[in-house]
Chains A and B, each alone.
Chain A
Amino acid sequence: MNAANGIVSRAHPLWLAYVLHRLSGIGLAVFLPLHFWVLAMAMTAPARLDAFLAMSGAGVAKLAEFGLVFLLAVHMFGGLRLMALEWLPWRPSQKTLAAGAAAASFLIASFFLLKAV
């Protein structure tokens, strides 16, 4: 192992949050041109679009959609986290409270989602 160039020093939550934000951003940047290309088919090739939409009911497409929503959610929360971190001069205890509140609301939202399903 090379002590000077190892990546061990990056294994902490703040760095992982940074990397998740970047990777989800790249994922979305790759997806969006494809998304607009498919939407553009409504104008240029409606039959192809219909064929594609029929295919979107398949399990693989559903899985991909789940990934997409995940990327969007992760990227949005990553951005909100960064703005809060840099623009709100919070004390560590305030940050803990805010993270706790976010976690609690997420739990409650998940509970309602499970009830709805």
Chain B
Amino acid sequence: MTSNFLKVTIERGAGAKNAQRVFEVPAHENQTVLDVVSWIQQCADPTLSYRFACRVGMCGSCAMMVNGVPRWTCRTHISKVLDDNAVTIGPLRNLPTIKDLVVDMDPFFDKWVAAEGMHHGGRTREHPIAPVDEKSAARIEANAGIECINCSVCYAACDTVAGNPEYLGPAALLRAWTLLNDARDEGREAILDAVSDKSGCHNCHSMGSCTAYCPNELDPMSAIAGLKRETTKSFLGRVR
């Protein structure tokens, strides 16, 4: 650290458009972006609203825009993002701001449902447990996406979402692709129908910001490419 204080600019949203406030925050050796925001709320401005829960990168609630990049703030060391000892923190892009750094996640989760991102079970308790072959190609595809923590970083990074608010977005489509490859899920038709309409996977321009910024290093862009292949195969199958 070149100075004992960090210059932290907070963008306070809803109702106070572009209202920026600058804080001087004491610098420490070990400090995450979330630590910095918490210090401001606890020591400088108790009216600052933000969201967090687990602080260890599991719950997906603390994502914010940090110097123009969506990040999970609890696992982002401040030294990684400081620019000339300063940092700008704002609410996530592509979601309505409720207050300060808190965004309304409803559109994000509604799209998970719209993309059929829920389990489609076909068995009852009378049936044996569905066998899962860990080595099958489909299971490997499914496993690649199951660590999503719903943090909405990919959704905030996506320019297609910014241009088309109806677009389901990377997280919901990654979920759909995971379920499509899950041997226990029996909703193949419903998923393919959900992801192939005008708000679906074919909106994606493969810009790759979702994959570039996913904090868990998942690959929604390739998952969406998989959905494009499967929906096209399904369409050609119906035409024939």
Residues on A with C-beta less than 8 A from B222 are: 89
* A9 and B211 within 8 A (CB): no
CB-CB nearest in chain B for A15: B207
Give B85 Cβ to nearest chain A Cβ, in Å.
15
Cβ of B88 within 8 Å of any chain A Cβ, yes or no, is yes
With beta carbons under 8 angstroms apart, the residue of B67, B89, B221, B225 that contacts A8 is B67
Residues on A with C-beta less than 8 A from B175 are: none
Chain B interface secondary structure, helix, strand, loop or mixed? Answer: mixed
Instruction: Please report which residues of chain B, range 182-240, place their CB below 8 angstroms from some CB of chain A when the two chains form the complex.
Output: 205-209, 211-213, 221-222, 225-226, 228-229
* B68 and A12 within 8 A (CB): no
- Chain B interface category by residue count: 20 to 34
Q: Give the total of A residues in contact with B, Cβ under 8 Å.
A: 20
Give A94 Cβ to nearest chain B Cβ, in Å.
12
Cβ of A51 within 8 Å of any chain B Cβ, yes or no, is no
Complexed CA–CA distance, A49 and B23 (Å): 67
Cβ of A14 within 8 Å of any chain B Cβ, yes or no, is yes
Give A36 Cβ to nearest chain B Cβ, in Å.
28
Residues on A with C-beta less than 8 A from B221 are: 14
Cβ of A2 within 8 Å of any chain B Cβ, yes or no, is yes
